Structure 1
């Protein structure tokens, strides 16, 4: 049904990540993915989902060296290992308030999300409970997955078919997969569309690893932000909201692109590996 077109890992949550040719998949996801995050003194976990507060993190890049050590490259090109105390100082200066980088997820860490204006960006019940914070943004507050820095799923997959469909819907937009921060980009051969809509519950063999498809990925404001050379484009998510709102658990019909996966069998995944789908029984 297709093959792995690209692999990405993001050692520090909400920073730019790294492109891989191969990756070891552990029971908890891609080895080295989102092992660190930037926190502030209120217990908030740094996430570009709240751009006014944390958007500057997307101007930084995180990467792992051959020894597995995580390094952060700041917007001015300064590169420091995560263990260097100077990094906290520079990140605090970048964000305009005291922050620190951590490899330990706080027990009650808060994750703040800006509420988009378009329908389908958040469940209606959540929108109704939003509040305006000190930045002037309307936000909702949730939590990261217990014991991790993941929002929800262990692995995030995006298909080339979905990206092709969105290019048809919004030709002016640049639907580079990096906007959607996937771990796996799958080169599907079905043409434009959303074949992954039929996958939840199915098992997906990718290289040596086996995954279970959990649920479509609800999209936030992050794909509209600037990523490397990709410019800010609010039209990206407005297009997704118009074209692809699908049921997500009991939350209603949300703007989705991609699917979340759980790991059933660890193994190595490489660019070019074949992908096979075993539909849910």
Structure 2
């Protein structure tokens, strides 16, 4: 009998590294979620930037209207900056040594100036031609895994938002998602194929609202799970990747059905 669990939360953001949105539904394609990670930052050498090394990005929330091409950045109720974005110079960006994506530096230099002021060094705002996911288009994490991390760490709870996973789902069994590699996952209207484990980085140690380092997640995960192999090397693994076999809409409350064959 196939395993069946339920989607409990979805997490996306128009600008990679900024605060997450939690929509009721998403449209997942083979290239990622429509509207997710459309923009990201690079330094002068073209190196991709993340919230791991740029904690000042925490607390900033981005909204983007595809029809008007207007991007707005806010902190709480305060609009920090907003304006239209148009492509200028094409650039190639290395995604953690796994693939290269083609994007365009945003034409208006004020955008790069704004983000340079935020992070305290020169960066450029870049618009991806397709969602700029890291390894595979989808990630999944069971709330049972998060509860187990809390239990093993002697904590009452751990905020799952610090892991920035696309799909969170209900589960009583901790780390059940680790057994889904190669399996067919029917999630709402979409069909996925379970992938390998996600190696966690230091961004997970930071409070998802403030960016302050307040939980040694990597040490706590490896304390009870050990260091395990992943596509990005050995380390603290938590959650899994997934490829998209059939695009579709996924909503909170949808069933996740796990079948033995993809």
CA distance in structure 2 between the partners assigned to 1:195 and 1:277 by the alignment: 11
Give the drift of 1:198: 0.9
Give the drift of 1:253: 4.7
Report the equivalent of 2:111: 87
Report the equivalent of 1:161: 144
Note if contact 2:186-2:257 (Cα within 8 Å) is conserved in structure 1: yes
Gap regions ≥5 residues in structure 1: 106-146
1:31 to 31, 34, 46: 34
1:265 to 221, 246, 251: 246
- 1:193-241 Cα shifts (integer Å, max 9, x gaps): 2111211111110000000111011101011012115752242221111
CA 1:78 to 1:253, structure 2 compared with 1: closer, same or farther past 3 Å? closer
CA distance in structure 1 between the partners assigned to 2:179 and 2:63 by the alignment: 34
Matched, 1:204 2:178: no
Report the equivalent of 1:101: 125
Report the equivalent of 2:213: 232
Report the equivalent of 2:20: 17
TM-score by structure 2 length? 0.80
The residue matched to 1:78 in structure 2 has which SS?
strand
Give the drift of 1:249: 4.9
Report the equivalent of 2:153: 170
Matched, 1:187 2:170: yes
CA distance in structure 2 between the partners assigned to 1:28 and 1:104 by the alignment: 11
CA 1:252 to 1:101, structure 2 compared with 1: closer, same or farther past 3 Å? closer
The residue matched to 1:238 in structure 2 has which SS?
helix
Question: Which has the larger displacement, 94-103 or 71-80?
Answer: 71-80
Report the equivalent of 1:78: 80
The residue matched to 1:61 in structure 2 has which SS?
strand
Gap regions ≥5 residues in structure 2: 86-107
CA 1:250 to 1:265, structure 2 compared with 1: closer, same or farther past 3 Å? closer
CA distance in structure 1 between the partners assigned to 2:217 and 2:196 by the alignment: 21
CA distance in structure 2 between the partners assigned to 1:68 and 1:206 by the alignment: 31
The residue matched to 1:150 in structure 2 has which SS?
coil
- 1:58-104 Cα shifts (integer Å, max 9, x gaps): 23222334748463424464141462643322211112222221114
TM-score by structure 1 length? 0.75
Give the drift of 1:256: 0.8
CA distance in structure 2 between the partners assigned to 1:68 and 1:21 by the alignment: 23
CA 1:182 to 1:68, structure 2 compared with 1: closer, same or farther past 3 Å? farther
Note if contact 1:175-1:236 (Cα within 8 Å) is conserved in structure 2: no
CA 1:99 to 1:237, structure 2 compared with 1: closer, same or farther past 3 Å? same
Report the equivalent of 1:59: 59
CA distance in structure 1 between the partners assigned to 2:234 and 2:48 by the alignment: 27
CA 1:187 to 1:12, structure 2 compared with 1: closer, same or farther past 3 Å? same
| Larger proportion of strand | 2
The residue matched to 1:19 in structure 2 has which SS?
coil
How many pairs align?
235
